[in-house]
Amino acid sequence: MMLEATVQKLHELRLDQMAAGVREQQATPALYAELSFEERLGLLVDRECTSRENRKLANLLKKAKLRYPGACLEEIDFRTPRGLHKDVLLTLARNAWIAGRQNVILIGPTGVGKTFVACALGNSACRAGISTWYTRLPRLLQELAIARADGSYGKLLTWLSRISVLIIDDWGLAPLADRERRDLLEVLEDRHEVSSTIISSQLPIEQWHEIIANPTVADAVCDRLLHNSHKLILKGESMRKLQSKLT
């Protein structure tokens, strides 16, 4: 009866995995007979901690909405020459750039793997317990316009500013309208030297002023993004084309 009461209290304290561990040790005493009390208690605590870490990671990945949720640095193809350097990405995987409020800029032609690399870095951030969110620039601008119309603009800006790693894909697909470039500047201004941003674009950095289409705003946007950033310039043939040739 005392054990049952203990298990019930563990559930009440939301220590469900510890409770399950107690049940397991009770059901299979021979497996734990040679372990000391401290060792058995340690197994229970480890089980609870591992479960909570897994739930936290699953929650972070769900909220991140990565284009490729399963992307990870271990799966990046470094054999195909496209300007990716393994040592650089392994350094970024340590997430010191996030702690330093730095940015990552991924430039390259379509299909070369920019989005996958961006999502792999986002996945690495999530595994370190860092909040991450993926979006495409057209969708972000659309959501900002909707928020402005329904009165939630300030709330959305605040939420965006609190995301530790914001991934903006498909940067520069089309010239920005006046309202769009000003909305974009608001987002980047709030994040400047506060959090980190990953930009993925087919457009060379030298052409960003042209796509933003306003010299003053372009200077401000580029200053906030490019200052203190890691620039990865990818090149080569589309990975999708290369894979299709192999099948």
**pLDDT tier for residue 82 given thresholds of 50, 70 and 90:** confident
Does 45 share its domain with 126? Answer: no
Higher pLDDT, 245 or 12: 12
Does 119 share its domain with 186? Answer: yes
Q: Nearest-CA neighbor of 10 among 58, 57, 47?
A: 47
Q: Of 45, 63, 81, which marks where a domain is finished? A: 63
Does 69 share its domain with 54? Answer: no
Does 101 share its domain with 155? Answer: yes
| pLDDT value for 246 | 47
Does 6 share its domain with 29? Answer: yes
Does 82 share its domain with 178? Answer: yes
pTM: 0.85
Whether 47 shows a pLDDT value over 70: the answer reads: yes
Mean pLDDT of 131-156: 97
CATH of the domain at 101: 3.40.50.300
Domain that holds residue 8: 2-63
Residue carrying structure tokens 């299909």? 111
Q: Nearest-CA neighbor of 98 among 163, 176, 46?
A: 163
Does 229 share its domain with 163? Answer: yes
| pLDDT value for 151 | 96
- Give per-residue pLDDT as tens, 127-136: 999 999 999 9
Q: Of 19, 36, 63, which marks where a domain is finished? A: 63
Q: Of 44, 63, 82, which marks where a domain is finished? A: 63
- Give per-residue pLDDT as tens, 184-200: 999 999 999 999 999 99
Does 46 share its domain with 82? Answer: no
Does 121 share its domain with 158? Answer: yes
| pLDDT value for 194 | 95
Does 110 share its domain with 223? Answer: yes
Dihedral in degrees, nearest 10, Cα atoms 215, 216, 220, 225:
-10
Does 9 share its domain with 110? Answer: no
Q: Are 16 and 1 in contact (CB under 8 A)?
A: no
> Long-range CB contacts (< 8 A, 24+ apart) of 188-191?
188/221, 188/224, 188/225, 189/220, 189/224, 190/157, 190/158, 190/160, 190/161, 191/160, 191/161, 191/166, 191/224
Whether 71 shows a pLDDT value over 60: the answer reads: yes
14: Cβ contacts below 8 Å, ≥ 6 apart: none
Whether 126 shows a pLDDT value over 60: the answer reads: yes
Tally of structural domains, the chain: 2
Whether 66 shows a pLDDT value over 80: the answer reads: yes
Q: Tokens at residue 216, please?
A: 């003053």
Mean pLDDT of 129-154: 97
Does 222 share its domain with 186? Answer: yes
| pLDDT value for 238 | 65
